Amino acid sequence: MRPAGLLLLLVALVAGACAGSSNSGDASTISGRSGEEIFATRILGPNPGCITCHSMDPDTTLVGPSIAGIGARAGSRVSGLSAEDYLRQSIINPSAFIVDGFDDGKMPSDLSEVLTGPEIDAVVAYLLTLG
Q: What is the CATH number of the domain that holds 89?
A: 1.10.760.10
Q: What is the pLDDT of residue 103?
A: 95
How far is residue 124's CA from residue 105's CA, in Å, rounded to a whole number?
21
Instruction: Specify the pTM.
Output: 0.76
Helix (H) or strand (E) holding 43: strand 43-44
Region 81-95 average pLDDT: 98
Give the model's pLDDT for residue 32.
Answer: 78
| 76: DSSP letter | G
Top pLDDT among 16 and 109 is at 109
Q: What total number of domains does the chain contain?
A: 1
Q: What is the pLDDT of residue 31?
A: 53
Would you give the DSSP letter of residue 94? Answer: T
Q: How far apart are CA 96 and CA 19, in angstroms?
A: 29
Element at 87 (helix H, strand E): helix 83-92
Look up the domain containing 51 and give its range.
3-128
Determine the residue type at 97.
F
Q: 74 falls in which pLDDT band (50, 70, 90)?
A: very high
Whether the Cβ atoms of residue 11 and residue 43 lie closer than 8 Å to each other: yes
